[in-house]
């Protein structure tokens, strides 16, 4: 998109204006977010505080694999997993998730913490979240949701998407885990380096 090309310079762009697909970036409009559980409050006078029950299951080196018609779609690994009796999702620590396309490895996600719904296979991760594709594209964000039914990743927080020397930042995300499609929602800024200068050539 030559309209936005500037050497080592960034500027704010309207969300609908930035649209670079497999060879660049995509940026358009709106998304949602789930709140994380709140911490417990203080006990009320005369009423004993209720201490939450501990996990009914706890594993180390937890692995969950999803297939589509017998073909591996993704593999989620966690240093530890805790399952509670009254919840469908399980808590994860130190999350590592490999994504596959037509059975071939394509990208990897790493995050500090997360949870996965064992019925729907929906994944929510947070902390330092980093997705890197095998061809070098990278997404960095503090929170991410993966919808197993749609195969899309999303959030409503800050994102940094890097492809080669080009960088796209902004809030709110809709994308595919292989980062072939990346849509930034709001406050979009693009830094697009001149290819000749990035390669060390004189202008």
79 Cβ neighbours under 8 A, 6+ residues apart: 60, 61, 62, 93, 94
Looking at the domain assignment, is residue 34 inside a domain?
no
Q: Which tens digit of pLDDT belongs to each residue from 29-78?
A: 333 333 333 333 333 344 444 445 778 888 899 999 999 999 999 999 99
Asked whether the predicted pLDDT for residue 7 surpasses 80, the reply is no
pLDDT at position 152: 97
- Average of pLDDT values for 130-139? 98
Residue 140 pLDDT > 60, yes or no? yes
Q: Domain of 142?
A: 2-27+56-198
pTM for this prediction: 0.70
Residue 12 pLDDT greater than 70, yes or no: no
Total number of domains in the chain: 1
Residue 47 lies in a domain: no
Is pLDDT larger for residue 23 or for residue 171?
171
**Would 173 be classed as within a structural domain?**
yes
Q: Do the domain assignments include residue 48? A: no
Residue 148 has pLDDT above 70, yes or no: yes
Cα separations in angstroms, 68 against 65, 73, 98, 102: 10, 6, 15, 9
Residue the block writes with tokens 């620590």: 93
Assigned domain for 35 exists: no
Q: Is residue 46 part of a domain?
A: no
The single-letter DSSP state of residue 55 is -
User: pLDDT at position 150, please?
Assistant: 96
pLDDT, position 57: 84
Distances (CA, A) of 78 to 42, 95, 109, 115: 32, 5, 12, 10
What pLDDT is stored for residue 105 in this prediction? 97
CATH at residue 132: 2.60.450.10
Length of the chain: 203
Predicted local distance difference test score (pLDDT) of residue 40: 39
Mean pLDDT, the chain, as a whole number?
79
Q: For residue 44, what are its two tokens?
A: 């009320």
The answer to whether position 32 is within a domain reads: no
Which of the residue ranges 42-46, 95-99, 199-203 has the most confident prediction, judged by mean pLDDT?
Answer: 95-99
Give whole-number Cα distances, 106 to 72, 89, 155, in Å: 12, 26, 21
The answer to which of 53-57, 85-89, 172-176, 179-183 has the lowest mean pLDDT is: 53-57
113 closest CA partner among 122, 123, 100: 123
């Amino acid at each position: 998109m030559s309209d936005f090309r500037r050497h080592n310079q960034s500027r704010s762009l309207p969300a609908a204006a930035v649209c670079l697909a497999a060879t660049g970036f995509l940026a358009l409009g709106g998304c949602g977010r789930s709140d994380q559980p709140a911490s417990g409050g203080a006990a009320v006078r005369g009423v004993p505080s209720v201490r939450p029950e501990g996990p009914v299951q706890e594993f180390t080196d937890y692995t969950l694999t999803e297939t589509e018609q017998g073909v591996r779609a993704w593999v989620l690994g966690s240093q530890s997993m805790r399952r509670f009796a009254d919840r469908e999702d399980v808590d994860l620590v130190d999350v590592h998730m490999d994504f596959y396309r037509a059975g071939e490895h394509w990208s990897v996600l790493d995050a500090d913490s997360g949870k996965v719904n064992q019925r729907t296979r929906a994944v929510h991760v947070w902390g330092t979240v980093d997705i890197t594709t095998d061809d070098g594209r990278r997404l960095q964000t503090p929170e991410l949701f993966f919808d197993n039914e749609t195969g899309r990743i999303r959030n409503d927080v800050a994102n940094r998407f890097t492809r080669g020397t080009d960088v796209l930042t902004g809030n709110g995300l809709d994308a595919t885990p292989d980062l072939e499609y990346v849509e930034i929602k709001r406050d979009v800024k693009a830094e697009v380096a001149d290819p000749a200068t990035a390669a060390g050539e004189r202008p």
